Amino acid sequence: MRQLLMIVVGVAMGTGQVAQAQGPNPGLAADAYAAHAKANAQLMQKYTWKMRVQLTYKGDEKPAQLYQMNYVNGQLQKTLLSAPPAETGRKHGIRHRIKEQKIDEFKAWAAQLTDLVKRYMSPSPGTMMDFYSSATFSPVPSGNVRATDTGFIQPGDTATYWINPATKQPVTYAFATALQGDAVKATVTFGQVPGGPQYASQMNITVPAKEVSATITNFNFVLNQ
């Protein structure tokens, strides 16, 4: 499971940028998104924080992994703070070779999942402009505004933002898409560091057909000295 866990961590590292949603003017909203994403990314580099990854595979909840996250020369770094997953089982023979082949196939699939999720977590200004142009905006009982549209990143998908009308920032984001015909769903809850960046405080990803789910939590942001 170590290889699978590292792929999931790769997905988590794609959550640095947060989409600002503030239509209804698509052009102005897209420009605001681009400016906010750039400023937010710069703020993130000033902090060190913790990331917890909880993986469930075929109904088996794996030991959670804890990482320290920080930027070095503009590059996001991760340092494992918890013990790495233990590798068990025989390392030779036909069964081992079959197992290794399946692991390689799963790693290739999981790498594609990583790339897909990153695209949804860091949409381009052009993608956001298209979203603002065609999304349906409606108030919800919480006082927020829900903006939803289809065909966000790829045909047949659905993307929804729940936006705080006062701050013009999303509080929750969800998307439903597919990878190789398998449904992929994710829900993201955003947090705000006082005086600092907005960030994905919790992200839940599920791929029912593969019996894979992950919960990624970012917390304990500390300003670098």
CA angle 150, 153, 155 (to 5 degrees): 55
pLDDT in tens, 57-82: 889 998 899 999 999 998 999 999 98
| E strand residue ranges, the chain | 47-57, 60-61, 65-72, 75-80, 136-139, 145-150, 158-164, 169-179, 182-192, 198-207, 212-223
pLDDT at 145 over 70: yes
Give the length of the chain: 225
Dihedral over alpha carbons 20, 26, 31, 32 (to 10 degrees): -30
The answer to whether residue 209 scores a pLDDT higher than 90 is: yes
- Would you say 1 and 55 are in contact if contact means Cβ atoms under 8 Å apart? yes
Q: What is the predicted pLDDT for the residue at 7?
A: 46
Longest dimension (CA), the chain: 63
Domain boundaries along the sequence of the chain: 2-223
Question: Is the model's pLDDT at 20 over the cut of 60?
Answer: no
Name residues whose C-beta falls within 8 Å of residue 54's C-beta, 6 or more positions apart in sequence.
61, 62, 64, 214, 215, 216, 217
- What pLDDT sits at residue 165? 86
- Residue 155 CA to residue 165 CA, distance in Å, equals 29
pLDDT of 22 over the 60 cut:
no
Cβ neighbours for 71, distance < 8 A, ≥ 6 positions apart = 44, 45, 77
Q: Which residue has the tokens 């340092």?
A: 79
pTM check: above 0.75: yes
> Is 191's pLDDT higher than 70?
yes
